[in-house]
Amino acid sequence: METTPLLRVEGVGKAYYSNVVLKNITFSLEEGRILGVVGENGAGKSTLMNILFGMSVIEKTGGYTGSIFVNGEEVHFRRPKDALNAGIGMVHQEFSLIPGFTVTENILLNRESLNYTVAEEVFGSCLRTLNRPAMTTRAESAIKKLNVDLDGETLIAELPVGHKQFTEIAREIANSSTKILVLDEPTAVLTESEADILLASMRRLADAGIAIIFISHRLNEVLTICDDIVVLRDGEVVLNTPTAQTSVRGMAAAMVGRKVESIAPENNEDTRLIGETLLEVDHLWVDMPGETVRNVNLAIRQGEIFGIGGLAGQGKLGIANGIMGLAPAGGTVRFDGKPLALNQPSAPLAAGISAVSEDRRGVGLLLEESIAWNIIFSAMQNQGKFLKPLAGGLVRVRDEAAICACAQRYIADLEIKCVNELQIVQELSGGNQQKVCLAKAFETNPRLLFVAEPTRGIDVGAKKVVLDTLQRYNREFGMTIVMVSSELEELRSICDRIAITDRGRIAGILPASEPSENFGILMMGTAHEGAQTA
């Protein structure tokens, strides 16, 4: 008989209302071992971690099914504090550090060593003073465990990114009760040498008896460091194996899988004419926070549907936002042979390029205005549509009748479910909001349309309408479409060619008919690394 595992997850499932995101997840983790959890964006990793860490979003949306055991005892965390008390420490992707505090202060944030003062007799323990020497000692011992070169007195704001990551980890280690450490993509922000140091530290921690859950997209790292590997796809465990029994290719295949067999490309009825190069991108860099583009070269042809895929944070969204002038960018972009001014949102619009933003509620819509206004605004501003002269052409004002007529046309055409065209967009469902975004872009009659994450957060029915509509506009009006999406199968279902981004560059461009495994390898950055070592 084996010993009781430190953590055991048994049959855990989670649904956000009718949307099932996790099904029957089972795995276990033993003391001193490192478990790698891999999966595409949206495979259910973050939901699983939210459950493990007792985030309030889980309770608020009806809890989860199945059971979790720590040290053989069943636990049910309702608050992060419960998880902390049970010995689970988590390092999130976003830094949770106070910039003006020193490393020591951050490591011991809200767990400071305190001295007795007289004042606390009256006002309570909050008036104890900080015991700096004791804090320094505690912080140093935590840093020592990691075996990194980190000065406790430096301000966080002055640290390089990698050291911030170490500070976060040190904070969890400093909590002596931490038995299980969850690291959510800790190497994503690190340079190669820093990542090596981190991996070495992880090994040390594991040798000291701490169990680690390591989430990463870098399959090579997972292979190097982990003892066991769990691969998630569509909320299910598709692979649970000791590291020795798998390979990069095996993991990639498991991750990407083949989700929807039925919507394989149906190019049989394709009678389109794919023309000359319409958009030429040369050495493009874009400074979009979290989606940095470093050096992208692309040529998109007239009349095709071009897909851009890749994992989150690898720059696929930055390409569209950079060309549209919404994020600081550099390099050369030529549209229809003419150079396109960057950093100037009106330039691409004037040239006949429109975009549907991935940030629907932040950029794509005027939530507090009507459907009609949302649809026509861009066309009105850039093309002077929907204006009628008044007082003998002295001024031109909104032509409300034409606006309503236009909105009604799109409502019927795209099956937007609403009361009427004057309804406030905020009240619509995500799918219908997305259709409004599409209508806005279509109304400008673009020659080239960027569509970013068009199906994110919308239901299946709307998804189909959106994809069908894109295809229809491409077929009927010859509109060139560049679709950016995290969902590879969705890209494969309507695109002609697909580019995969990795670390702000194009890792490769393949025809959509290639097997998904090949895309998976491009995404995982293994091809890139291979190229580098070669």
Residue from 126, 412, 460, 534 that binds another protein (CB under 8 A)?
126
Distances from the Cα of 524 to the Cα of 257, 449, 519, angstroms = 14, 28, 9
Choice from 387, 402, 422, 424 touching another protein (CB under 8 A) = 387
Rounded to a whole number of angstroms, the minimum distance from the CB of residue 347 to another protein is 8
DSSP-derived secondary structure for 375-425: HHHHHHHHH-TTEEEETTTTEEEE-HHHHHHHHHHHHHHTT--SS-TTSBG
Nearer of residues 13 and 352 to another protein, judged by Cβ:
352
Find the binder of another protein among 17, 368, 392, 393 (CB under 8 A). Answer: 368
Give residue for tokens 């259910």. 44
Among 10, 20, 41, 101, contact with another protein (rule: CB under 8 A): 101
Q: Judged by CB under 8 A, how many residues of this single chain contact another protein?
A: 59
At 364, the amino acid letter reads G
Is 268 a binding residue for another protein by CB under 8 A? The answer is no
157 with 99: CB under 8 angstroms? yes
Contact status: 136 vs another protein (CB under 8 A): no
Instruction: State which of positions 80-99 bind another protein (CB under 8 A).
Output: 80-81, 96-99
Q: Is there binding between residue 298 and another protein (CB under 8 A)?
A: no
Pairing of the two strands 228-233 and 34-38: parallel
What DSSP element (H or E) covers 39? Answer: none
User: Is there binding between residue 413 and another protein (CB under 8 A)?
Assistant: no
357 binds another protein (CB under 8 A): yes
Chosen residue from 11, 67, 127, 151 binding another protein by CB under 8 A: 127
Q: Closest Cα to residue 322, out of 281, 363, 360, 285?
A: 285
Q: For strands 505-511 and 497-502, give the pairing.
A: antiparallel
Tell me whether residue 70 or residue 135 sits nearer to another protein (CB atom): 135
Residue 423 as a binder of another protein (CB under 8 A): the answer is no
Among 397, 401, 419, 531, binds another protein (CB under 8 A): 397
Classify strands 129-130 and 114-115 as parallel, antiparallel or unpaired: antiparallel
Q: What's the closest the beta carbon of residue 170 comes to another protein, in angstroms?
A: 14
Give the tokens for residue 78: 């309702």
CA 359 to chain centre: 12
The verdict on 220 binding another protein (CB under 8 A) reads: no
Q: From CA 238, how far away is CA 229, in angstroms rounded?
A: 11
Residue 28 has φ and ψ, to the nearest 5°, of: -140, 160
Chain contacts with another protein (rule: CB under 8 A): 80-81, 96-101, 105, 109-110, 112, 114, 117, 119, 125-130, 285, 287, 289, 292, 294-295, 324, 326, 328, 345-346, 349-350, 355, 357, 359, 362-369, 373, 377-378, 380-382, 384, 387, 390, 395-398, 504
